[in-house]
Each structure stands twice: as structure tokens, then as C-alpha cells.
Amino acid sequence: MTKTTIPVHLDINGRHHDLQLEPRVTLLDALRDRLGLTGTKKGCDHGQCGACTVHVDGERVLACLTLAAQAEGRTVTTIEGLAREGEMHPVQAAFLEQDAFQCGYCTPGQIMSAVACIREGHAGSDDEIREYMAGNLCRCGAYPHIVAAVRQAALEAAS
């Protein structure tokens, strides 16, 4: 198979990157293998676990099912881009405070999903949080604390 590469220009966490990639490279692989942004995790690589959740133009999507080339001209935010001037994002702080993880592998995806969930207005009750966080699996089963963290961050955002 020919290794044809194409130029791909990506805006990630406010920084511009010029890459040469095979067209088949997913946004997830570009982030992790080419840009060293390994905060975004590869879980199933098939769109079922949510570990690779990032924001494209402010909306949560799965980096494993997005081609890097498709993200050109869009604004990408990863877990590395959430903190502001050394201050944790309120959702990150809430996850720490509520002990909302065990092994931590799903956590970046959970947090990116939670930030979007709150912004979408889908964090009004525990049931709604569970429902709209259902695309992020946690094999350790930290769900009760994850819901508590999202609830806490949503309340803080509302106040």
C-alpha cells in the first residue's frame, strides 16, 4: 500500500499544528502519536467507550471515529486544554474532590464529556447526568462518584 500523506492543519487547545498524515489517521492517533497529547485515551477504538472524548467546535465527539483530516478548520479541545493558567477546570476539581475515579483511564473522557454535558444543560438531575454521561464507560465502576462530581460542578456552574 502506498504511504501517501496529506497536509493536515489542526488547531488544538489554541495552538496551531501542521502535520503530514496518512488520510486514515484518526484524530485520536494524531493527538497521541504525533502531538504527544496522550491525555486523550484509546479504549475500545470503536466508538463505544468514550475514553477518547474531545471537543470539536465546542461539542463532545469521539476522536477515534473522527479522521484527523476532518478536524481541519475546526477548533479542537482536549483534556490538556481545559486548565486555565495553572488553575484546574471546575470539573477537574470536582472529580478530584469527589474521588470520581479509580484507575483513571476513562477519566479524561469522562471530564471532557462532563464539561459538555453541563454546558448542554443536561446535568439537571442525577438521572439526567447518568443518561447524558452514558457514552462514557468506567470499568472500575466509579459511577456514583462520577455522578456526584458532575452534579457538584453543575451546581457550581449554575451559581
Partner 1 sequence: MRDFSYVRANSLAAARQAAALPGAMLLAGGTTLIDLAKCGVAEPETLVDITHLKGLDRIEMNERGATIGALARMSRVADHADIKIHFPAVSEALWQAASAQIRNMATIGGNLFAPAPYGDFAVALLALDATVGTDDGQTPIETFLANRDGSRAVVTSVSFTLPKADSFRFLKVSRVKPKGVSVLSIAAVLELSSDGTVTSARIALGCMADRPMRARAAEKALIGRTLTADGIAPALAAAGDGISPITDPIASAWYRAEVLPVHLGRLLLA
Among 12, 13, 26, 39, binds partner 1 (CB under 8 A): 26
Task: Say whether residue 33 binds partner 1 (CB under 8 A).
Answer: no
Cell numbers standing for residue 65: 471515529
Handedness of CA 157, 94, 62, 132 (dihedral sign): negative
Task: Say whether residue 41 binds partner 1 (CB under 8 A).
Answer: no
| Interacting residues of 15 by C-beta distance below 8 A, sequence separation 6+ | none
Residues 53-72 within binding reach of partner 1 (CB under 8 A) = 53, 59-62, 64-67, 69-70, 72
Task: Say whether residue 23 binds partner 1 (CB under 8 A).
Answer: yes
Distance separating alpha carbons of residues 111 and 51, to the nearest angstrom? 10
In one-letter notation, the amino acid at residue 139 is R
Cell numbers standing for residue 27: 484524530
- 3-class secondary-structure state, position 153: helix
Among 17, 34, 119, 122, binds partner 1 (CB under 8 A): 122
As measured in angstroms, the least distance from the Cβ of 22 to partner 1 is 6
Distance separating alpha carbons of residues 159 and 141, to the nearest angstrom? 29
Task: Say whether residue 124 binds partner 1 (CB under 8 A).
Answer: no
Distance separating alpha carbons of residues 153 and 115, to the nearest angstrom? 9
Nearer to partner 1, 80 or 128 (CB): 128
Nearer to partner 1, 59 or 99 (CB): 59
- 3-class secondary-structure state, position 26: strand
Task: Say whether residue 47 binds partner 1 (CB under 8 A).
Answer: yes
As measured in angstroms, the least distance from the Cβ of 70 to partner 1 is 6
Cell numbers standing for residue 47: 466508538
Residues of this chain that bind partner 1 (CB under 8 A): 1-4, 6, 22-24, 26, 45-47, 50, 53, 59-62, 64-67, 69-70, 72-73, 113, 116-117, 120, 122, 132-136
